[in-house]
């Protein structure tokens, strides 16, 4: 009995201590399990946070743009945000094989992108493999970049071309110039 009480006490203590924020990871239809495993591992190793897999998701017809037939990334982020067990705790990343777009000002209302993070107070981001040319190194880097936004990192202004937080401006070649590292400025923002 005493043992049981002691164990319960420990459980309460463990529950009170806040660990690092969890990153939730999911894939839309068509994403391979190996891709989820790869991204899970890289996020865990790079950001030192637990990464938990959520059940697979399906794209909703309502998030599809009728003009270019891509999914509107911002609408998908709203869908993902609702999946978070607690909206104030944790981040969520979803992988998709579908092309996604953003509204990039009035001149580019349908701008195809590799990923998008809701960094205006949101906790969701998406990475599309559509523009990555089947390259797993790009998938790793774009995933790290988008989660970086959710951890409050803006685009890099230090002039370090190899920093992960470079603004790719929709080009995979910019991603190729980066390495899996953050420059000193970006690290300082994360308080590393
Ligand atoms: Zn940087
Ligand atoms: Zn970015």
| Tally of structural domains, the chain | 1
Q: Which ligand is nearest to the CA of 116?
A: 2
Distance 167 CA to ligand 2 centre (A): 5
Range of the domain at 63: 33-191
What is the tens place of the pLDDT at every residue in 146-187?
999 999 999 999 999 999 999 998 889 999 999 999 999 999
Look at residues 116, 117, 88 and name the one whose alpha carbon lies nearest to residue 22: 88
Q: Residue 160 is part of a domain; what is its CATH number?
A: 3.40.390.10
Pairing assessment for the beta strands 124-128 and 91-96 based on DSSP bridges: parallel
Q: Tell me, yes or no, whether 19 lies in a domain.
A: no
* Lookup: tokens for 103: 């509204």
Number of other residues whose CB lies within 10 A of the CB of residue 73? 27
Residue 2 domain-assigned? no
Residue 15 domain-assigned (yes or no): no
Q: How far away, in angstroms, is 113 Cα from ligand 2 center?
A: 10
13 within a domain of the structure (yes/no): no
Q: Which residues of 158-167 are buried (b: 16+ CB within 10 A; e: fewer)?
A: eebeebbbbe
The pLDDT of residue 10 is above 70: no
Distance (Å) from CA 32 to ligand 1 centroid: 30
Residue 1: CB atoms within 10 A of its CB come to 5
171 inside domain? yes
pLDDT of residue 16: 41
Using one digit for the tens of pLDDT, what is the confidence trace for 102-123?
998 999 999 999 999 986 778 9
Assign 108 to helix, strand or coil. Answer: strand
| 18 assigned to some structural domain | no
pLDDT band at 6 (very low <50, low <70, confident <90, very high): very low
- 163 within domain boundaries: yes
Q: Closest ligand to 169 CA? A: 2
- Ligand 1 centroid to Cα of residue 187, in Å, is 7
pLDDT of residue 5: 44
Residue 8 CA to ligand 2 centre (angstroms): 44
Pairwise pLDDT comparison (122 vs 33), residue with the higher score: 33
**Span 15-25, pLDDT tens digits:** 444 567 899 99
Region 84-97: mean pLDDT is 84
pLDDT value for 15:
40
Residue 87's pLDDT is: 52
Share of the chain above pLDDT 70, in %: 87
Contact status, residue 77 vs residue 125, Cβ threshold 8 Å: yes
Ligand 1 centroid from CA 44, angstroms: 20
């Amino acid at each position: 009995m005493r043992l049981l009480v002691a164990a319960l006490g420990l459980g309460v203590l463990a529950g009170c201590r806040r660990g690092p924020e969890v990153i939730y990871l999911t894939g839309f239809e068509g994403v391979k399990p190996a891709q989820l495993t790869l991204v899970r591992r890289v996020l865990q190793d790079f950001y030192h946070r637990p990464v938990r897999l959520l059940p697979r998701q399906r794209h909703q017809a309502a998030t599809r743009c009728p003009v270019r037939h891509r999914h509107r990334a911002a609408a998908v982020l709203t869908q993902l945000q609702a999946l978070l067990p607690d909206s104030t705790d944790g981040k969520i990343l979803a992988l998709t094989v579908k092309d996604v777009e953003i509204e990039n000002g009035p001149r580019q209302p349908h701008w195809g992108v590799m990923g998008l993070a809701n960094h205006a107070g949101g906790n969701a981001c998406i990475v599309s493999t559509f523009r990555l040319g089947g390259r797993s190194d790009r998938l790793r880097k774009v995933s790290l970049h988008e989660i970086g936004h959710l951890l409050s990192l803006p685009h890099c202004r230090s002039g370090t071309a190899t920093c992960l937080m470079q603004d790719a401006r929709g080009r995979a070649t910019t991603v190729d110039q980066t390495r899996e590292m953050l420059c000193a400025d970006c690290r300082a923002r994360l308080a590393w």
